[in-house]
Amino acid sequence: MDTPRRVEHQQTDRGYIPVYATGVIEQPWASYSATDHGVWAQLFRRQREILPGRACREFLDNVERIGLGADAIPKFDDLNRVLRRATGWELVGVEGLLPDHVFFDHLAHRRFPVTWWIRKPEQLDYIAEPDLFHDLFGHVPLLMNPVFADYMQAYGRGGMKAHGIDADALMNLTRLYWYTVEFGLIRTGEGLRIYGSGIVSSKGESIYCLESDAPNRLGFDLERVMRTRYKIDTYQQTYFVIDGFEQLFEATRPDFAPIYAKLKTLPAYPAGEVLPGDRVYHRGTGEGWVRSGDV
Ligand code: HBI
Ligand code: FE
């Protein structure tokens, strides 16, 4: 199975990687090889092994509810029958990273773009751009949760507006996505748990984000997150903790335009900084941090 032709290389927030055509494509399920299904199975089994006790209940329960299994790459059509009934969301196959405004438009219409191809066996532990495993296993289960599903649509609508304002507004919103949807933690009665897709789809970071002393773990605050730079090719130096998905949805209620205008006049914070006003669950030791590369 050859990956589709690449339209162009573009500087994106995940570094210098290809941004593909914006078309939606049918999942070419019959074209997946035994190796492709094997990569899915290996990644799925590995995460199913380590996530209980680390990922939040909403994520784990919805992996089951939507019917993800280890034996083969799931069919988007099968998942869409369950997902549409649960929250009105659906998956659409895409070739990879989309231009921001195209991505936001999908979210604003309750469509989640899922890359149709899966990584190679030699890329098991790290791949620069989101592949099928990251998108499907990482992002889709929580779209079964009504509050999180509403947040994702509100985020997409916000993205459409930010796209019309300026690059700073877009960066603020991209940081919000990064520190919640991709790398977010949530407080529970049993302690901190993971809900971020970038974490749950990575074995190393699933362990590191909760158990290493190196990173900060700070209470979520909308403007604080929008001003905080992030890492694109190492584990995060700071993880932000929400009290619940309602808090996330509530955060998207206000009109962001005045917030963007205020933040435009203020400097961004380095990824690993801890500030006097922060709610500190854990102040990181900073061990092993790479100082450069903050976006
Ligand atoms: N495109 N297919 C796809 N998937 C993403 O997660 C994605 C994207 N384009 C832009 C993007 N994410 C980020 O810039 C978001 O913060 C908007
Ligand atoms: Fe993602």
Which residue has a Cα nearest atom 16 of ligand 1?
Answer: 174
Rounded to the nearest angstrom, the distance between the alpha carbon of 281 and the centre of ligand 2 is: 25
For residue 238, which phi and psi values (nearest 5 degrees)?
Answer: -135, 135
Residues 35-62: pLDDT tens digits? 999 999 999 999 999 999 999 999 999 9
Whether 98 is in the pocket of ligand 1, judged by its Cβ within 6 Å, is yes
Q: Identify the structural domains of the chain with CATH numbers, from first to last.
A: 24-290 (1.10.800.10)
Helical segments of the chain, H only: 34-50, 57-66, 76-87, 100-108, 132, 146-165, 167-177, 197-200, 203-211, 222-226, 245-251, 257-264
* Distance from the Cα of residue 266 to its chain's centroid: 26
pTM for this model (two decimals): 0.92
Q: Which residues contact 35 (CB under 8 A, 6 or more apart)?
A: 120, 121
The DSSP code for 79 is: H
* Cβ density class 191-230: b for 16+ within 10 Å, e for less: ebbbbbbbbbbbbebbebbbebeebbbbbbbbebbbbbbb
Higher pLDDT among residues 161 and 8, named by residue? 161
Residues 124-173: pLDDT tens digits? 998 889 999 999 999 999 999 999 999 999 999 999 999 899 999 999 99
Query: How high does pLDDT run on average in the chain?
Result: 92
pLDDT (0 to 100) of residue 22: 61
Task: Report how far residue 43's alpha carbon sits from residue 49's, in angstroms, rounded to the nearest whole number.
Answer: 10
Q: 280-282 and 216-219 as β-strands: parallel, antiparallel, unpaired?
A: antiparallel
201 with 156: CB under 8 angstroms? no
Whether 13 is in the pocket of ligand 1, judged by its Cβ within 6 Å, is yes
5-14, 41-50, 188-197, 249-258, range with the lowest pLDDT:
5-14
Whether 174 is in the pocket of ligand 1, judged by its Cβ within 6 Å, is yes
The C-alpha torsion from 243 through 249 and 255 to 258, rounded to 10°, is: 30
194 with 56: CB under 8 angstroms? yes
Candidate of 98, 174, 178 to mutate for ligand 1, largest count of ligand atoms within 8 Å of Cβ: 98
Q: Is the pLDDT of residue 15 over 90?
A: no
> Relative to the CA of 12, which ligand 1 atom is closest?
14
Whether 271 is in the pocket of ligand 1, judged by its Cβ within 6 Å, is no
Rounded to the nearest angstrom, the distance between the alpha carbon of 276 and the centre of ligand 1 is: 32
Rounded to the nearest angstrom, the distance between the alpha carbon of 277 and the centre of ligand 1 is: 30
